[in-house]
Structure 1
């Protein structure tokens, strides 16, 4: 019971910090929308982020989760801290060398890379030139982002979560400061400066904690270290799988760049809203359970391993199903409240809200897939998720082309293809993991799923009627009216969902109530 409570307490703490980070993220996006709107300038800015995001995913999400942390945690579980750091020192040193070389090449070849990530931008000389300049300008932020990721991997292995979780908070603070203080005078370059500042703060806040646990850290190359070799062996397929997935996102962005001007920006704003539940709940649960999964496998505690997976998935289902229904019902009120200001018009609201409906379909999958992939990583199996990922990318790109070419869905087709592909990936990963683990607690998961669907549908009907009525009475012209509409509708939705969950005797609600009562004592 204590382990179960520890996981839930850790997940709860991370959810609160991630909630703060996501709140600041929305403040950031609102400022960008107000100052710059949805146009070719913002398309250039967001396109310039693409390759840094790819590198962060490959080196941090891929290499750390699949190769570094399972091996590092295995040494720690066996009280072999010295062995853990011998491998870690070489891993971190190689990563630093790689990122320095990458930055040099990235800066030099920026003009050739931009057409690969946004071919539509390359067709307009002004947008192309701006994208290249912003790409080069923000190169240094990649280094600090990777340093922050490496630090996070070490700290999470020691089950230190607070400082790494606060990193994204500081990242958003940096961007907000850049936009507010420098945006007016230097335009989009002021915002880009904020990105650099934010990445530095993200790394800087983790340094004190890293110094405490990293006393054995040295810049050292021992490429013959067996544990380091195992890290490389494990991370290879994972990086391949992630690279395939990122190629998929680049293809999506390229297709969007060929549609109406501002399509990249509209898709991004819809994605930012979707990433609220994904970032708060999906990332929190996967981060909280990963060290525990690794420890159970290291000790051959397979039944406990299955229990942790079940707890994680049921928690995500309980939270994300109502989030999906809520965002589909309140798509326009939410977008209007968050972004309609300054240069972001009502037409931009409708454009973004349209994409949001289709993205919302995949929230559960977007939260669950990282958890399931980490379950494979804890088994030191990085090949299976990569193979599945390759098939999903082909499926996603095919759907994209079909929807955009043979339907009137436009950017909605891109969002829908992404959601359907994510759902398929979730189902396939779960099925294969169940076979590999010789059975998972599927019955428990399905009971939670069915009850959550029932409660969420009732909630959705009530929320729709509430929002519709308030829109008729208050209108949506003022921020106060928008806030009241969204706030009251969401509040009533939470009450209805919790009431339904209580009547359905959902264990996840009872666990949450017990946790709150315990924290009050």
Structure 2
């Protein structure tokens, strides 16, 4: 009996230590991500457009779905798991995930249609170029409402089954992927910009040559 309690205590401490380690790594990567984004884009028009376009889907999800999932879905799923077993809880979780998926997908489509009005509502002080870019980026990012809804629901299911490792590691993967893409796309756009300058230089050189011949 004493050995079982000792093993459970040791397992709990290991889980807490793992969670703390993952959270610290995620916070460090988040700081690096913000620093790289600031170095590359600073306070430019592109940075403002990206900030607004990424904030809007998160705001809609937090207001409409995050509290519902946290306050309603998790307690009901835990109660269903305790009283009716895993099979019934899986059935309930499946129905809820499908429901959230349909609702968030419809919301994403509606927001895509009215993206211009939404940007004007969130950022009324933007100039025309920034608004146009913000609308384009927003339409690209709006499907993340659907993806976040599914992910948030699945994370809640894992937590109900006392599986905390994968949910904690999501932030690490998320920040790591963004950092990687910032480096990759920065290099790609730098190469495109360099090629564009070369082609422009060649075009001007040809024009100068033709004018000299004439």
Fold-level similarity (TM above 0.5)? yes
1:49 aligns with 2:54: yes
Q: Which has the larger radius of gyration?
A: 2
Q: How many residues are matched? A: 185
> 1:9–1:66: structure 2 CA closer, same or farther, 3 Å change rule?
farther
What is residue 17 of structure 2 aligned with on the other side?
Answer: 12
The answer to whether the Cα contact below 8 Å between 1:60 and 1:149 also exists between their aligned partners in 2 is: no
Q: Which residue of 2 aligns with 1:140?
A: 143
Q: Distance in 2 between matches of 1:155 and 1:28?
A: 27
> What CA deviation, in whole Å up to 9, does each residue of 1:15-60 have, x standing for no partner?
2111111111111111111111123321211111122112332465
Q: Distance in 1 between matches of 2:12 and 2:134?
A: 43
Q: Are 1:158 and 2:161 an aligned pair?
A: yes
RCO higher in 1 or 2 (8 Å CA, sep ≥ 6)?
2
Question: What is the distance in 2 between the residues matched to 1:132 and 1:96?
Answer: 23
Q: Which runs of 5+ in 2 are unaligned?
A: 191-214
Partner SS state of residue 65, structure 1: helix
Distance 2:70 2:12 in 1: 18
Root-mean-square deviation (Å): 2.3
Secondary structure, counterpart of 1:88 in structure 2: helix
Residues 184-206 of structure 1, C-alpha deviations (whole Å, 9 max, x = no match): 4348xxxxxxxxxxxxxxxxxxx
Please say if 1:181 is aligned against 2:184.
Answer: yes
1:36 maps onto 2:50 in alignment: no
**For 1:479-514, what per-residue CA distance to the aligned partner results, in whole angstroms no more than 9, with x for missing partners?**
xxxxxxxxxxxxxxxxxxxxxxxxxxxxxxxxxxxx
1:9 positional shift = 4.7
Q: 1:73: how far off?
A: 0.8
Instruction: Provide the rounded CA distance (Å) in 1 between the counterparts of 2:17 and 2:84.
Output: 28
In the other structure, the counterpart of 1:92 is 97
In structure 2, relative to structure 1, the CA distance for the partners of 1:167 and 1:81 (3 Å cut) is same
SS across alignment from 1:119? coil
Aligned residue for 1:113? 118
Quote the offset at 1:116 in angstroms. Answer: 1.8
Q: String of CA shifts for 1:321-370, please: whole Å, max 9, x gaps.
A: xxxxxxxxxxxxxxxxxxxxxxxxxxxxxxxxxxxxxxxxxxxxxxxxxx
Cα gap change, 1:12 to 1:56, in 2 (>3 Å): farther
Task: Provide the secondary structure at the position in 2 that maps to 1:160.
Answer: coil
Whose helix proportion is higher, 1 or 2?
2
Shift of 1:113: 0.2
List runs of 5+ in structure 1 lacking aligned partners: 188-521
User: Residue 5 of structure 1: CA displacement?
Assistant: 7.1
TM-score, normalised relative to structure 1: 0.33
